[in-house]
Structure 1
Amino acid sequence: MRTRFLLLILLFFVAFTCDIAFGSVNLSLKDVWSSLTGSGGDDLYREIIINYRLPKALTAILTGAALSVAGVLMQTLFRNPLAGPDVLGVTSGASLGVALLTLGASSLPWFVIAGWGQVTAAVLGAVGVLLLIIIVSVKVPQTISLLIIGMMFGNFAGAIVSILQSTSNPDTLKLFISWTFGSLSAVSWDYMSIMAPIIIVGTLLAFIMQKKLNVLLLGEKYATGLGVSVSRTRLWIILATALLAGTSTAFTGPIAFIGVTIPHIARGIFHTSDHKMIIPASILCGSGIMLVCDLISQMPGSQGTLPINSVTALFGAPIIIWIIAKNGGMGK
């Protein structure tokens, strides 16, 4: 187990270094080291690394870790291998918030709609859905019912977004569509100072709940028999997931498949469902794979970029198909 963790850490640092070194302008390891340590080097290269590539790489790490841990929490709560961080409708709420701002308030100045405006709208949308989910979870004891209600919230938010899209002007529609593609490069150091602490808090909550998450794998009745408050644990899981998925979506836009696929990769590597292993393994795998996806999206050596959401979908969709095929269908 230790060897596998060390290998994951090594691969993570390789991916991190490559993500900083390669892009439209390829840099040498010496340039990267000089810029990161402040030991001389070209001023232009230092500007590229410190103010563009480094925050983008850190955003990839935070987003990959957040979505992966949120996926672990949701798959444990619902005991469903295809559950992801978006099943509670929190990410749909964030999308609805951005849609209401960009599509429903198109008369506002451009600087209000873009930047912090989008982030604030996404946070408010995610928090709104979170509050609704918490209220419902108190009144609805069945976990499967909570899953269905979360999906309905998502569908309701999606319907409103579709109506807004059909009635908006082309300029604001283009702005919203660009946001839905996902972007790691939009997070500046100012954004990072807010994004990072929230994701760290959500991740710490997941680590604190490790033992209770392991008990939940045995079933709610068994967990209750062992003295675990299922309703209270469920609330903490919902809160942690909302912090992780809602924050990452607010700052980077919706990024698909990472939250669903990474937990399976972690379980496949370590052959266990013990959350003491799966949570840190998912953090390493999710962060590393997001760095690789970011590197691919930059298409090193060219001036073009690909939407990060498309790259993660190309990576994640085959794994989802493999999971369903391996289980012999959704019913098994």
Structure 2
Amino acid sequence: MPRNAMFHKRLFLLATVLALCVAGYLLLGSRGNWGFVLAFRANKLAALLLVALSVSTATVLFQTITRNHILTPAVMGFDALYLLILTVLVFMLGAQDFVRLPELGQFVLNTVLTMAAALALFGTLLSRGGSDLFRMILTGIIFAGLFRSITSFLQRLIDPNDYVVVQSASFARFSRIDIGLLTLAAALTVVALITAWRMRHKLDVLSLGPEAATNLGEDPRRGMFTILVIVSVLVSVSTALVGPLAFLGLLVVSVARQITPTVSHAVLLPSAALVSAITLVGGQLLLEHLLQLSTPLIVVVDVLGGLVFLTLLLRRKPR
């Protein structure tokens, strides 16, 4: 069987599994007013799918330009910056005033600040040339540590009652998704995803490295900056919408590379998106409706993702 046909067959099987997970999530255990139940679950399902697409695509793009299958956008300090912004707001306003803030205002503020910080970092480093990419990664790691240190310091200063608010918002949550936020997040995400998909053939070239990309007629610095803008939009929106997701991207993209071992982004992007959607929707179905557990899904994902990270780190050299 040709490789392309094999990959298409595997993508179809993944899509079938996702359809079953979606149907099970919407219909399993539905009682009472079906209109209310399906509408409530549909909102959560939309948030799960939106985050799955954003995180998987951002991780694939980031690993493409860094040419490393272990690095993820979380390394650049996105999650740490979100927690810092959250802690600063609670520290300055107090828990009661923070809770009274409109959700739309919180979402826009978190998204804008995260994107602004990311673009400032990327623009400064990439303006000096593509050779500064690894300096950018190192700078991201340093800033992530700095953000976490400042966050920890502020959390020690705030009132314990206020800290409860920070702690509850520090974990990814898929309940009580505001329709207005979901609509805005979906609009931003769709634009970023369309842009990424239209660049899928350029991504194949950029993955070869700056010198090879230049020889093939692509501007590597412009391509990397465009990709990093897309990554910053996707990660900022998903993090501001539901909270930090540290190891989800690494987990689902690593699984997708095993299912569809190819460098073609026309296959890898939908494969990672389908695996990510199955992980979130299927995991939520399993924990919430089948096992009747209150354990947050992100806790399980982080445990599995951490094990995958250690396995990749110890098994072979980063690529």
Match of 2:299 in 1: 310
Match of 1:321 in 2: 310
The answer to whether structure 1 residue 222 and structure 2 residue 228 are counterparts is: no
Structure 1 residue 117: Cα displacement: 4.4
Structure 1 residue 135: Cα displacement: 2.7
Equivalent residue runs for 1:3-82 within 5 Å: 3-22=9-28, 26-27=29-30, 42-43=32-33, 45-50=34-39, 52-82=40-70
Structure 1 residue 325: Cα displacement: 3.9
Contact kept in structure 1, 2:94 and 2:162, CA below 8 Å = yes
Match of 1:258 in 2: 248
Structure 1 residue 128: Cα displacement: 2.8
Match of 2:3 in 1: none
Contact kept in structure 2, 1:56 and 1:184, CA below 8 Å = yes
Equivalent residue runs for 1:94-105 within 5 Å: 94-105=82-93
Contact kept in structure 1, 2:84 and 2:148, CA below 8 Å = yes
Query: How far does the alpha carbon of each residue in 1:280-317 deviate from its partner, in whole angstroms, 9 at most, with x for none?
Result: 11111111111122224425363x52223202113322
Structure 1 residue 254: Cα displacement: 0.3
| SS of match in other structure, 1:228 | coil
CA-atom RMSD in angstroms: 2.1
Structure 1 residue 165: Cα displacement: 0.6
Structure 1 residue 167: Cα displacement: 0.6
Match of 2:196 in 1: 206
Match of 1:118 in 2: 106
Match of 2:80 in 1: 92
| SS of match in other structure, 1:86 | helix
Query: How far does the alpha carbon of each residue in 1:40-82 deviate from its partner, in whole angstroms, 9 at most, with x for none?
Result: xx42x321220x2111111111101110111101111111111
The 1:117/1:306 distance shift into structure 2, 3 A limit, reads farther
Structure 1 residue 107: Cα displacement: 6.6
Q: How many residues align?
A: 311
Contact kept in structure 1, 2:126 and 2:133, CA below 8 Å = no
Q: Give, in whole Å, the separation in 2 of the partners of 1:255 and 1:300.
A: 23
Structure 1 residue 194: Cα displacement: 0.6
Match of 2:232 in 1: 242
Contact kept in structure 1, 2:287 and 2:297, CA below 8 Å = yes
The answer to whether structure 1 residue 155 and structure 2 residue 169 are counterparts is: no
| SS of match in other structure, 1:104 | helix
| SS of match in other structure, 2:83 | helix
Q: Give, in whole Å, the separation in 1 of the partners of 2:237 and 2:147.
A: 18
The answer to which of 131-140 and 164-173 deviates more is 131-140
Q: Give, in whole Å, the separation in 2 of the partners of 1:326 and 1:181.
A: 30
Q: Give, in whole Å, the separation in 2 of the partners of 1:112 and 1:133.
A: 32
TM (normalized to structure 2)? 0.90
Q: Give, in whole Å, the separation in 1 of the partners of 2:122 and 2:261.
A: 33
| SS of match in other structure, 1:109 | helix
Q: Give, in whole Å, the separation in 2 of the partners of 1:331 and 1:117.
A: 40
Off by >4 Å, runs of 4+ in structure 1: none
The answer to whether structure 1 residue 164 and structure 2 residue 182 are counterparts is: no
Q: Give, in whole Å, the separation in 2 of the partners of 1:139 and 1:153.
A: 19
Query: How far does the alpha carbon of each residue in 1:253-275 deviate from its partner, in whole angstroms, 9 at most, with x for none?
Result: 00121111222222211221111
The 1:19/1:81 distance shift into structure 2, 3 A limit, reads same
The answer to which of 231-240 and 288-297 deviates more is 288-297
Structure 1 residue 121: Cα displacement: 3.4
TM (normalized to structure 1)? 0.87
Corresponding letter in the other structure for 1:287: A
Task: Indicate which of 268, 274, 278 corresponds to 1:288.
Answer: 278
Q: Give, in whole Å, the separation in 1 of the partners of 2:140 and 2:50.
A: 25
Task: Give the share of equivalent positions with the same residue, in percent.
Answer: 22
Corresponding letter in the other structure for 2:26: I
Structure 1 residue 331: Cα displacement: 5.8
Q: Give, in whole Å, the separation in 2 of the partners of 1:229 and 1:112.
A: 47
* Unaligned runs of at least 5 residues, structure 2: 1-6
